[in-house]
Amino acid sequence: MPLNAPFLRPFVPLLGYLLAAHAAHAAEAMYPPGSRLGLVPPPGMALSSNFFGFEDSDANAAITLTALPAEAYADLDKMISPDALKKQGMLLEKREALSLAIGQAFLMTGHQENQYRWVLVAASPGLTAWVTVQVPDAARDRYPEAAIRASLASLQIRATIPVEEQLGLLPFKLTELAGFQVAHLLPGRAVVLSDAPMDAPARSQILVGAAPGGPAEARDRGEFAREIFAATPNVRDVRITSSEPLRLAGQPVHEIMAQARDMSGSTSLKVVQWLRFGGGGYIQVVGIAPVEAWPDSYPRFRAVRDGIAPR
Protein backbone atom coordinates (compact mmCIF):
# COMPACT_ATOMS: atom_id res chain seq x y z
CA MET A 1 0.00 0.00 0.00
CA PRO A 2 1.47 3.44 -0.88
CA LEU A 3 2.77 5.53 2.02
CA ASN A 4 0.60 8.47 0.99
CA ALA A 5 -2.66 6.55 1.41
CA PRO A 6 -5.17 8.94 3.05
CA PHE A 7 -5.46 7.19 6.40
CA LEU A 8 -1.66 6.97 6.72
CA ARG A 9 -0.91 10.63 6.06
CA PRO A 10 -1.26 11.77 9.71
CA PHE A 11 1.40 9.23 10.71
CA VAL A 12 4.02 10.19 8.12
CA PRO A 13 5.70 12.92 10.30
CA LEU A 14 5.75 10.52 13.28
CA LEU A 15 7.26 7.78 11.14
CA GLY A 16 9.95 10.18 9.94
CA TYR A 17 10.83 11.11 13.50
CA LEU A 18 11.00 7.49 14.62
CA LEU A 19 13.26 6.54 11.73
CA ALA A 20 15.55 9.51 12.39
CA ALA A 21 15.63 8.78 16.12
CA HIS A 22 16.53 5.16 15.44
CA ALA A 23 19.38 6.23 13.15
CA ALA A 24 20.69 8.69 15.75
CA HIS A 25 20.46 6.07 18.48
CA ALA A 26 22.41 3.59 16.35
CA ALA A 27 25.23 6.09 15.76
CA GLU A 28 27.67 7.14 18.47
CA ALA A 29 27.64 10.64 19.88
CA MET A 30 30.42 12.92 18.66
CA TYR A 31 32.14 15.20 21.18
CA PRO A 32 33.69 18.51 20.15
CA PRO A 33 37.29 18.58 21.38
CA GLY A 34 37.34 19.81 24.98
CA SER A 35 33.59 19.40 25.54
CA ARG A 36 31.87 16.99 27.89
CA LEU A 37 28.70 17.35 25.82
CA GLY A 38 28.19 15.41 22.62
CA LEU A 39 25.45 14.25 20.30
CA VAL A 40 24.81 12.70 16.90
CA PRO A 41 24.63 15.64 14.49
CA PRO A 42 22.03 15.62 11.75
CA PRO A 43 23.31 14.64 8.28
CA GLY A 44 25.07 17.61 6.74
CA MET A 45 26.62 19.02 9.92
CA ALA A 46 30.21 18.42 11.00
CA LEU A 47 32.31 19.32 14.03
CA SER A 48 33.04 23.03 14.14
CA SER A 49 36.54 24.42 14.53
CA ASN A 50 35.13 27.75 15.72
CA PHE A 51 33.03 26.76 18.75
CA PHE A 52 31.86 23.78 20.79
CA GLY A 53 29.34 22.28 18.43
CA PHE A 54 28.55 21.42 14.83
CA GLU A 55 27.94 23.47 11.72
CA ASP A 56 27.04 23.49 8.07
CA SER A 57 28.75 26.64 6.85
CA ASP A 58 27.18 26.44 3.41
CA ALA A 59 23.68 26.52 4.90
CA ASN A 60 24.66 28.78 7.84
CA ALA A 61 23.15 26.17 10.18
CA ALA A 62 24.71 25.31 13.53
CA ILE A 63 24.37 23.48 16.84
CA THR A 64 26.17 24.90 19.86
CA LEU A 65 26.80 23.03 23.10
CA THR A 66 27.30 24.81 26.42
CA ALA A 67 27.95 23.20 29.80
CA LEU A 68 26.59 25.08 32.83
CA PRO A 69 26.66 24.28 36.57
CA ALA A 70 24.22 21.59 37.63
CA GLU A 71 22.23 24.03 39.78
CA ALA A 72 21.54 26.23 36.75
CA TYR A 73 18.77 23.95 35.51
CA ALA A 74 16.26 24.89 38.21
CA ASP A 75 16.93 28.59 37.69
CA LEU A 76 16.58 28.35 33.90
CA ASP A 77 13.40 26.31 34.23
CA LYS A 78 11.84 29.18 36.19
CA MET A 79 13.38 32.11 34.34
CA ILE A 80 12.85 31.18 30.70
CA SER A 81 9.45 32.35 29.58
CA PRO A 82 7.89 33.58 26.33
CA ASP A 83 8.37 37.17 27.48
CA ALA A 84 12.03 36.59 28.36
CA LEU A 85 12.71 35.02 24.98
CA LYS A 86 10.79 37.76 23.19
CA LYS A 87 13.11 40.35 24.73
CA GLN A 88 15.97 38.44 23.10
CA GLY A 89 14.22 38.49 19.73
CA MET A 90 12.90 34.92 19.73
CA LEU A 91 9.20 34.27 19.22
CA LEU A 92 8.41 31.09 21.13
CA GLU A 93 6.10 28.67 19.36
CA LYS A 94 6.24 25.78 21.79
CA ARG A 95 7.78 24.67 25.06
CA GLU A 96 7.63 21.03 26.06
CA ALA A 97 9.07 18.70 28.69
CA LEU A 98 11.33 15.87 27.54
CA SER A 99 12.83 12.81 29.15
CA LEU A 100 16.32 12.11 27.81
CA ALA A 101 18.79 9.35 28.59
CA ILE A 102 20.82 11.83 30.67
CA GLY A 103 17.82 13.15 32.63
CA GLN A 104 14.92 15.56 32.50
CA ALA A 105 14.89 18.38 29.97
CA PHE A 106 12.72 20.96 28.29
CA LEU A 107 12.74 22.04 24.66
CA MET A 108 11.73 25.39 23.23
CA THR A 109 11.14 25.98 19.54
CA GLY A 110 10.59 29.29 17.85
CA HIS A 111 11.62 31.80 15.24
CA GLN A 112 14.21 34.56 15.31
CA GLU A 113 15.51 36.79 12.51
CA ASN A 114 14.74 34.54 9.53
CA GLN A 115 15.92 31.47 11.42
CA TYR A 116 14.15 28.63 13.13
CA ARG A 117 15.61 27.87 16.54
CA TRP A 118 15.53 25.00 18.99
CA VAL A 119 16.78 25.49 22.57
CA LEU A 120 17.25 22.39 24.70
CA VAL A 121 18.04 22.63 28.43
CA ALA A 122 18.83 19.28 30.07
CA ALA A 123 19.65 18.35 33.66
CA SER A 124 22.18 15.83 34.89
CA PRO A 125 23.85 15.27 38.28
CA GLY A 126 27.11 16.87 37.14
CA LEU A 127 26.06 19.74 34.89
CA THR A 128 23.29 21.44 32.96
CA ALA A 129 23.41 21.18 29.18
CA TRP A 130 22.32 24.13 27.05
CA VAL A 131 22.01 23.22 23.38
CA THR A 132 20.91 25.63 20.68
CA VAL A 133 20.14 24.87 17.04
CA GLN A 134 19.73 27.51 14.36
CA VAL A 135 18.59 26.77 10.84
CA PRO A 136 17.82 29.52 8.32
CA ASP A 137 14.36 29.41 6.83
CA ALA A 138 15.95 28.70 3.44
CA ALA A 139 17.56 25.50 4.81
CA ARG A 140 14.53 23.98 6.56
CA ASP A 141 14.14 21.34 3.85
CA ARG A 142 17.75 20.29 4.45
CA TYR A 143 17.22 20.09 8.21
CA PRO A 144 13.66 18.96 8.90
CA GLU A 145 12.11 18.90 12.35
CA ALA A 146 12.46 15.13 12.69
CA ALA A 147 16.21 15.21 12.06
CA ILE A 148 16.81 18.00 14.58
CA ARG A 149 14.73 16.35 17.29
CA ALA A 150 16.47 13.02 16.78
CA SER A 151 19.85 14.74 17.09
CA LEU A 152 18.84 16.54 20.30
CA ALA A 153 17.48 13.28 21.73
CA SER A 154 20.95 11.72 21.28
CA LEU A 155 22.58 14.21 23.71
CA GLN A 156 25.20 12.55 25.92
CA ILE A 157 27.54 13.68 28.71
CA ARG A 158 30.93 12.06 29.20
CA ALA A 159 32.40 11.88 32.68
CA THR A 160 35.83 13.26 31.76
CA ILE A 161 37.73 14.75 28.85
CA PRO A 162 40.97 12.92 27.97
CA VAL A 163 44.02 14.92 29.03
CA GLU A 164 45.56 14.66 25.57
CA GLU A 165 42.40 16.14 24.07
CA GLN A 166 42.40 19.04 26.52
CA LEU A 167 46.07 19.85 25.94
CA GLY A 168 45.51 19.65 22.20
CA LEU A 169 43.42 22.83 22.45
CA LEU A 170 46.44 24.89 23.52
CA PRO A 171 48.57 26.92 21.09
CA PHE A 172 51.68 25.16 22.41
CA LYS A 173 52.66 21.64 23.40
CA LEU A 174 53.34 20.45 26.96
CA THR A 175 55.70 17.53 26.65
CA GLU A 176 56.24 17.20 30.43
CA LEU A 177 53.55 17.47 33.13
CA ALA A 178 55.93 16.54 35.97
CA GLY A 179 53.23 14.81 37.97
CA PHE A 180 50.71 17.66 37.73
CA GLN A 181 47.18 17.22 36.42
CA VAL A 182 44.99 19.51 34.34
CA ALA A 183 42.81 21.56 36.71
CA HIS A 184 41.44 24.20 34.36
CA LEU A 185 41.86 25.02 30.69
CA LEU A 186 41.09 28.07 28.60
CA PRO A 187 41.07 26.75 25.01
CA GLY A 188 43.50 28.54 22.75
CA ARG A 189 45.13 30.44 25.60
CA ALA A 190 46.15 28.83 28.90
CA VAL A 191 46.10 25.85 31.25
CA VAL A 192 46.36 25.51 35.03
CA LEU A 193 48.01 22.36 36.36
CA SER A 194 47.71 21.26 39.98
CA ASP A 195 48.92 18.43 42.17
CA ALA A 196 45.74 18.43 44.29
CA PRO A 197 42.04 19.23 43.85
CA MET A 198 41.42 22.93 43.28
CA ASP A 199 39.53 23.21 46.58
CA ALA A 200 42.39 21.71 48.60
CA PRO A 201 43.66 24.12 51.28
CA ALA A 202 47.33 23.77 50.25
CA ARG A 203 48.53 22.72 46.85
CA SER A 204 51.13 23.49 44.22
CA GLN A 205 49.90 24.76 40.90
CA ILE A 206 51.36 26.09 37.70
CA LEU A 207 49.82 28.25 34.99
CA VAL A 208 51.08 28.16 31.42
CA GLY A 209 49.62 30.62 28.95
CA ALA A 210 50.42 32.29 25.64
CA ALA A 211 49.57 35.80 24.49
CA PRO A 212 50.46 38.02 21.57
CA GLY A 213 52.53 41.18 21.94
CA GLY A 214 55.21 42.04 24.44
CA PRO A 215 58.11 44.52 24.21
CA ALA A 216 60.47 44.24 21.27
CA GLU A 217 63.37 45.85 23.14
CA ALA A 218 65.21 43.83 25.77
CA ARG A 219 65.45 46.84 28.09
CA ASP A 220 61.66 46.99 28.39
CA ARG A 221 61.08 43.33 29.27
CA GLY A 222 61.78 43.57 33.00
CA GLU A 223 59.14 46.23 33.59
CA PHE A 224 56.70 44.37 31.34
CA ALA A 225 57.27 41.14 33.30
CA ARG A 226 56.59 42.94 36.59
CA GLU A 227 53.34 44.38 35.22
CA ILE A 228 52.19 40.92 34.15
CA PHE A 229 53.27 39.43 37.49
CA ALA A 230 51.24 42.04 39.41
CA ALA A 231 48.07 40.44 38.02
CA THR A 232 48.82 37.01 39.52
CA PRO A 233 45.51 35.84 41.05
CA ASN A 234 44.79 34.29 44.46
CA VAL A 235 47.85 35.70 46.23
CA ARG A 236 48.36 38.66 48.57
CA ASP A 237 51.18 40.39 50.44
CA VAL A 238 53.48 39.77 47.49
CA ARG A 239 57.15 40.69 47.88
CA ILE A 240 59.45 40.28 44.87
CA THR A 241 62.83 38.87 45.93
CA SER A 242 64.52 38.79 42.52
CA SER A 243 63.88 39.92 38.94
CA GLU A 244 66.41 39.14 36.24
CA PRO A 245 66.80 38.33 32.54
CA LEU A 246 67.84 34.82 31.47
CA ARG A 247 68.35 32.86 28.29
CA LEU A 248 66.82 29.41 28.13
CA ALA A 249 67.26 27.21 25.06
CA GLY A 250 68.53 30.25 23.20
CA GLN A 251 65.44 32.37 23.90
CA PRO A 252 65.15 35.49 26.06
CA VAL A 253 63.34 34.90 29.36
CA HIS A 254 62.66 37.13 32.33
CA GLU A 255 62.41 35.44 35.74
CA ILE A 256 60.71 36.83 38.84
CA MET A 257 60.85 35.16 42.25
CA ALA A 258 58.62 36.27 45.11
CA GLN A 259 57.18 35.48 48.51
CA ALA A 260 53.45 35.83 49.20
CA ARG A 261 50.52 34.51 51.18
CA ASP A 262 47.29 32.90 50.06
CA MET A 263 44.09 34.97 50.06
CA SER A 264 43.18 33.86 53.58
CA GLY A 265 46.59 34.95 54.82
CA SER A 266 47.11 31.62 56.56
CA THR A 267 49.57 29.98 54.13
CA SER A 268 53.03 31.25 53.21
CA LEU A 269 53.78 30.81 49.52
CA LYS A 270 56.66 31.04 47.10
CA VAL A 271 55.99 32.18 43.56
CA VAL A 272 58.02 32.10 40.35
CA GLN A 273 57.19 33.60 36.98
CA TRP A 274 58.99 33.05 33.72
CA LEU A 275 58.13 35.08 30.61
CA ARG A 276 59.60 33.66 27.41
CA PHE A 277 59.62 36.09 24.50
CA GLY A 278 59.65 35.36 20.80
CA GLY A 279 57.56 34.90 17.68
CA GLY A 280 55.57 38.09 18.17
CA GLY A 281 54.28 37.07 21.60
CA TYR A 282 55.25 35.57 24.91
CA ILE A 283 54.62 32.48 27.02
CA GLN A 284 53.93 32.99 30.71
CA VAL A 285 54.71 30.31 33.27
CA VAL A 286 53.71 30.94 36.91
CA GLY A 287 54.40 28.40 39.65
CA ILE A 288 52.89 28.79 43.13
CA ALA A 289 53.56 26.47 46.07
CA PRO A 290 53.35 26.50 49.87
CA VAL A 291 56.75 27.19 51.38
CA GLU A 292 57.03 23.66 52.78
CA ALA A 293 56.28 22.17 49.34
CA TRP A 294 58.66 24.43 47.42
CA PRO A 295 61.73 22.13 47.44
CA ASP A 296 59.66 19.44 45.73
CA SER A 297 57.57 21.73 43.50
CA TYR A 298 60.21 24.07 42.10
CA PRO A 299 62.11 21.41 40.08
CA ARG A 300 58.78 20.22 38.70
CA PHE A 301 57.85 23.77 37.71
CA ARG A 302 61.12 23.96 35.79
CA ALA A 303 60.46 20.60 34.13
CA VAL A 304 57.07 21.83 32.87
CA ARG A 305 58.68 25.09 31.69
CA ASP A 306 61.42 23.27 29.81
CA GLY A 307 58.88 20.91 28.21
CA ILE A 308 56.96 23.68 26.43
CA ALA A 309 57.30 23.30 22.67
CA PRO A 310 55.77 25.00 19.62
CA ARG A 311 52.75 23.35 18.06
pLDDT tens per residue, range 236-263: 999 999 999 999 989 999 999 999 999 9
- Report the pLDDT value the prediction gives residue 122, as an integer from 0 to 100: 97
Is the pLDDT confidence value at 24 over 60? no
Q: How far apart are CA 196 and CA 190, in angstroms?
A: 19
Of the chain, the percentage scoring pLDDT greater than 90 comes to: 73
Alpha helices by DSSP H, 126-209: 145-153, 163-167
- Tell me the C-alpha distance between 90 and 114, whole Å: 10
Q: In whole angstroms, what is the distance from residue 13 CA to residue 231 CA?
A: 58
What per-residue confidence (pLDDT) applies to 218? Answer: 92
Distance between CA 73 and CA 104 in Å, rounded? Answer: 10
Other Cβ atoms less than 10 A from the Cβ of 269: the count is 22
Q: Reduce the DSSP state of residue 282 to 3 states and report it.
A: strand
Q: What is the pLDDT of residue 85?
A: 85
For 103-122, the pLDDT digits (tens) are 999 999 999 989 999 999 99
Question: Does the structure show a pLDDT above 90 at 196?
Answer: no
pLDDT reading at 11 higher than 80 = no
Range of weakest confidence among 6-10, 120-124, 162-166, 196-200? 6-10
Q: How far apart are CA 84 and CA 32, in angstroms?
A: 29
10 has pLDDT over 70 = no
Lowest mean pLDDT: which of 84-88, 91-95, 199-203?
A: 199-203
Helix (H) or strand (E) holding 20: helix 12-26
pTM exceeds 0.95 for this model:
no
At residue 138 the predicted structure's pLDDT band, cuts being 50, 70 and 90, is very high
* Least confident range of 30-34, 59-63, 193-197, 219-223: 193-197
Domains of the chain with bracketed CATH:
6-157 (3.40.1000.10), 163-310 (3.40.1000.10)
DSSP secondary structure letter of residue 292: G
